[in-house]
Amino acid sequence: MFNLSILLQASTAVADSTAKAATTEHVSAPILEIMVKGGVVMALLAITLLIAIYFIVERGIYLKNRAKIDTNLINVIKENLKENRPDSALAYCERTPTAQAQVIATGLRFLGSNLREIESAMETKASVELSAMESSLNYLSLIARIAPMLGFVGTIWGVINIFYSISLTNDLSIGAISGGLYTKMVASFGGLLVGIVAFLGYQLYIRRIDRFSERLQEQTLNLMEILVKSNI
C-alpha cells in the first residue's frame, strides 16, 4: 500500500508538470494576421517601406555606376597630356560615365585658363555630382523620422479605441484589453522597423558618398599636379 501511494503521488506530480508545461508553452503570434488588423496605419507603413526599399535599390544602382574611382584614369590623362593630346584625354573622360571622369573632363575643358579657374570649375562640377548622389537620400531620411511617429500614432489611436470600448461595455477583463492592445502595438513595431531600414540605408549611402568625395578630391589634386608639372 505504501508503495502504491508513492506511485500515485509520483504520477500525479508528472501529470501536473505536464499540464503546466502545456499551458506555458510558447505560442507564436500570427504576425501577418496581426499586421492586417493594424488598420490604416499599417497600410501606410507598408507603403513607406516599399518607398524606402525603392530608393535604397535605386541609389545603390546609381552609386554603383557613378561613384567609381578609376585609378588608371589619371595615368591615361597624364600620358595624353605628355604627348600633347588634350583632346584625346577629354574624349576619354567624356566616354566614361562616372562622376570622377566628368569632374576631370571639366578641368580639361578649362585648359588655357589659370590654375585657379580650372580648380574652381572642377570643384563646382564635383559639388553638382555629389548633390545628385545625395538627392534621393532626403526621402530615406524623411521616412526614417516619420515612420516611428506614424507607428506610435497608430498605437495611441488603438488604445483610445480600447478605452472607448470599455466605457461602452464596462468589460475590464484582461482578454478584452490585451487582445486589442497587442494588435495595436504592432503599429509601433512596424514603424520602428521601417524607420530602422530607412535610417540604415541613409547612413550607409551617406558614408559611401563621403568616402567617394575624399577620393575625388585626391584625384582632383593629382590632375592639378600634372597640369603644374606640364606647364599647361
Q: How does pLDDT run across 203-222, given as a tens digit for each residue?
A: 999 999 999 999 999 999 98
Question: Cβ atoms within 10 A of the Cβ of 220, count?
Answer: 22
**What's the one-letter identity of residue 45?**
L
Model confidence at 196, in pLDDT bands (50, 70, 90)?
Answer: very high
Ranking 35-39, 160-164, 203-207 by mean pLDDT, the lowest is 35-39
Q: Look at residue 6 in the predicted model and tell me its pLDDT.
A: 43
CA proximity to 118, closest of 128, 127, 110? 110
Neighbours of 116 (CB within 10 A): 8
Specify the pLDDT at position 163.
Answer: 73
Distance between CA atoms of residues 192 and 145, nearest Å: 10
pLDDT score recorded for residue 159? 76
d(CA 125, CA 117): 12
Burial label for 152, CB within 10 Å (0-12, 13-18, 19+), is: middle
> In sequence order, what are the residues at sequence separation of 6 or more whose Cβ sits closer than 8 angstroms to the Cβ of residue 121?
106, 107, 109, 110, 113
Cell for 156?
495611441
pTM confidence score: 0.75
Q: Which residues partner with 111 through β-bridges?
A: 113
Q: Show the DSSP H helices in the chain as ranges.
A: 2-23, 31-37, 40-66, 73-82, 86-95, 99-109, 115-134, 137-169, 174-230
pLDDT at 193 over 60: yes
The C-alpha atoms of residue 59 and residue 74 are separated, in whole angstroms, by: 26
Break the chain into its structural domains and give their ranges. Answer: 32-230
Grid coordinates belonging to 190: 512596424
Which pLDDT band holds residue 9 (cuts at 50, 70, 90)?
very low
The DSSP output letter for 111 is: B
Residues paired with residue 22 on neighbouring β-strands, in sequence order: none
Confidence of residue 156 (pLDDT cuts 50, 70, 90): confident
Query: How confident is the model at residue 58, as a pLDDT?
Result: 94
- Amino acid letter at 226? I
Q: What is the mean pLDDT of residues 95-123?
A: 91
Contact (CB, 8 A) for 159 and 176? no
Instruction: Report the alpha-carbon distance of residue 194 to residue 136 in Å, rounded.
Output: 17
